[in-house]
């Protein structure tokens, strides 16, 4: 088989292949070929970061069709000191406490595993910017998976800064398909990020699957939650990395990612931001003791009981009843088993008529 015929086939270099030029018989070449017998039409994504190798990734069907004979290999690559590019977007808020968002940029030929995270994170950042000054500071980090966070954390003082300032942290990955949602909790499992993520996913995608940090981690949460860093990071996903058949293959293309999949993931994470921004402050009343006469303020109908909107009455009443300086809107929502954003309208109505004043958690200036 002539080398020009071989080159015309759909081959991918082993990621980080070393330079190579030579002629190899078919049986020797085979040791440098990578394919997936279980997915004969897929080209796998294979890497060799820490040991010098050369090779090709190809379809199993093509591999099986290669005839015996000599094959000329020519790989024109270089191995030399280089640089790592990453993005670090900081959106200042009224507080220096941070909401941290990580996504990765290392193999963008894969749509769900890679580009979907960058896409959703970008639109989340734009949504925060368009709202004006947020309560918290938001930090979006775009970097190659694993190596990127390690380089990012190596900057002088950065680990200390993040440990001190980060209130909640999210890893955004594999968020473009429509196969359901997944959650990988933090290594503690009971942080504010865990609580908010579970609350939102319970109401927006109640059939989501929850994994464990101890048994199922494998992305940027490994670095950002490592000892000495210890960020309260959860991973919000559709199909978790490593679990869907197209993962790390050429089949992870734009046919797998949909607009509805991306939008649904965007909505879930933005609601997590909403819960943090508006749902975790204690409340207290400054007007009166006892249950208010809501109809006096135009907040309740004066008609008989069968005409009453009990959901609204319970919402208003519970927001007032738990406005004791110790309960947040998120606390009230969980007691009522409703999404926290449903209570925002009741809090606003009570504030508008002077029955309620929100006292924020201490904001570090």
Task: Say what the pLDDT of residue 79 is.
Answer: 83
Task: Say what the pLDDT of residue 1 is.
Answer: 35
Second CATH level (architecture) for the domain 282-358:
Orthogonal Bundle (1.10)
Query: Confidence band (pLDDT; 50, 70, 90) for 5?
Result: very low
pLDDT at 69 over 70: yes
Whether residue 282 contacts residue 148, with contact meaning beta carbons closer than 8 Å, is answered with no
DSSP conformation class of 95: S
Topology (CATH) of 3-75 = Glucose Oxidase; domain 1 (3.50.30)
Name the burial class of residue 8, with classes exposed (0-12), middle (13-18) and buried (19+) by CB atoms within 10 angstroms of its CB: exposed
Helices 340-352 and 329-336, interaxial angle, to 10°? 120
pLDDT at 311 over 70: yes
Query: Confidence band (pLDDT; 50, 70, 90) for 348?
Result: confident
Structure tokens at 189: 């499992």
Q: Which residues pair with 47 in a beta bridge?
A: 15
Task: Say what the pLDDT of residue 19 is.
Answer: 86
Structure tokens at 100: 């941290």
Q: Which residues pair with 362 in a beta bridge?
A: none
Query: Confidence band (pLDDT; 50, 70, 90) for 363?
Result: very low
For the chain, where do the domains classified as CATH 3.50.30.90 start and end? 3-75
What's the alpha-carbon Rg for the chain, to the nearest Å? Answer: 26
Residue range 316-347, pLDDT digits in tens: 888 888 888 888 999 999 999 999 999 998 88
Question: What percent of the chain has pLDDT above 90?
Answer: 70
Please name which of 58, 110, 114 lies closest in space to residue 246, comparing C-alpha atoms.
110
Please name which of 279, 86, 288, 294 lies closest in space to residue 192, comparing C-alpha atoms.
279
DSSP conformation class of 113: I
CA separation for the pair 117, 144 (Å, rounded): 12
Whether residue 29 contacts residue 6, with contact meaning beta carbons closer than 8 Å, is answered with no
* Cβ neighbours of 45 (radius 10 Å): 20
What is the homologous superfamily of the domain 87-278 according to CATH? Zn peptidases (3.40.630.10)
For the chain, where do the domains classified as CATH 3.40.630.10 start and end? 87-278
Contacts for 126 with CB less than 8 Å, ≥ 6 apart: none
Please name which of 312, 282, 277 lies closest in space to residue 295, comparing C-alpha atoms.
312
Please name which of 137, 11, 134 lies closest in space to residue 73, comparing C-alpha atoms.
11
Residue range 104-149, pLDDT digits in tens: 999 889 999 999 999 999 999 999 999 999 999 999 999 999 999 9
CA separation for the pair 207, 204 (Å, rounded): 9
Q: Is 22 helix (H, G, I), strand (E, B) or coil?
A: strand
Please name which of 245, 265, 264, 242 lies closest in space to residue 256, comparing C-alpha atoms.
245
CA separation for the pair 228, 125 (Å, rounded): 27
Query: Confidence band (pLDDT; 50, 70, 90) for 294?
Result: confident
Residue range 236-291, pLDDT digits in tens: 999 999 999 999 999 999 999 999 999 999 999 999 999 999 998 777 665 666 67
CA separation for the pair 330, 339 (Å, rounded): 8
Residue range 250-259, pLDDT digits in tens: 999 999 999 9
Task: Say what the pLDDT of residue 2 is.
Answer: 40
| HSE, side-chain direction, 13 A CA sphere, residue 352 | 11
pLDDT at 356 over 90: no
Backbone angles phi, psi at 245, to 5 degrees: -60, -30
CA separation for the pair 218, 5 (Å, rounded): 39
Residue range 37-53, pLDDT digits in tens: 999 999 999 988 888 89
For the chain, where do the domains classified as CATH 1.10.10 start and end? 282-358
């Amino acid at each position: 088989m002539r080398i020009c015929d071989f080159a015309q086939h759909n081959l991918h270099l082993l990621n980080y292949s070393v330079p190579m030029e030579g002629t190899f018989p078919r049986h020797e070449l085979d040791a440098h070929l990578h394919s997936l017998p279980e997915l004969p039409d897929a080209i796998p994504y294979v890497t060799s970061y820490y040991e010098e190798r050369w090779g090709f990734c190809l379809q199993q069907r093509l591999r099986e069709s290669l005839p015996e004979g000599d094959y000329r290999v020519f790989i024109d690559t270089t191995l030399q000191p280089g640089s790592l590019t990453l993005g670090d977007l900081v959106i200042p808020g009224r507080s220096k406490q941070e909401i941290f968002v990580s996504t990765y940029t290392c193999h963008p030929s894969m749509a769900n595993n890679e580009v979907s995270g960058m896409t959703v994170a970008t639109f989340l950042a734009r949504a925060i910017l368009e709202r004006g000054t947020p309560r918290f500071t938001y930090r979006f980090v775009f970097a190659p998976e694993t190596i990127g966070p390690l380089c990012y954390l190596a900057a002088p003082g950065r680990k200390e800064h993040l440990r001190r300032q980060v209130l909640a942290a999210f890893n955004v990955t594999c968020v473009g398909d429509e196969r359901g949602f997944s959650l990988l909790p933090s290594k503690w499992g009971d942080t504010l990020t865990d609580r908010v993520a579970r609350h939102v996913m319970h109401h927006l995608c109640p059939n989501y699957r929850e994994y464990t940090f101890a048994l199922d981690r494998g992305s940027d949460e490994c670095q950002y939650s490592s000892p000495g860093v210890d960020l309260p990071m959860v991973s919000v996903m559709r199909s978790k990395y490593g679990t869907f058949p197209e993962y790390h293959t050429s089949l992870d293309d734009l046919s797998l990612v949909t607009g509805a999949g991306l939008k649904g993931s965007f909505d879930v994470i933005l609601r997590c931001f909403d819960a943090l921004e508006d749902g975790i402050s204690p409340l207290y009343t400054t007007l009166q003791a006892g249950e208010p006469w809501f109809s006096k303020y135009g907040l309740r109908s004066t008609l008989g009981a069968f005409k009453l909107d009990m959901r609204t009455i319970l919402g208003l009443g519970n927001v007032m009843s738990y406005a004791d300086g110790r309960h947040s809107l998120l606390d009230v929502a969980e007691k009522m088993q409703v999404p926290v954003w449903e209570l925002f309208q009741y809090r606003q109505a009570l504030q508008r008529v002077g029955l309620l004043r929100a006292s924020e958690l201490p904001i570090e200036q």
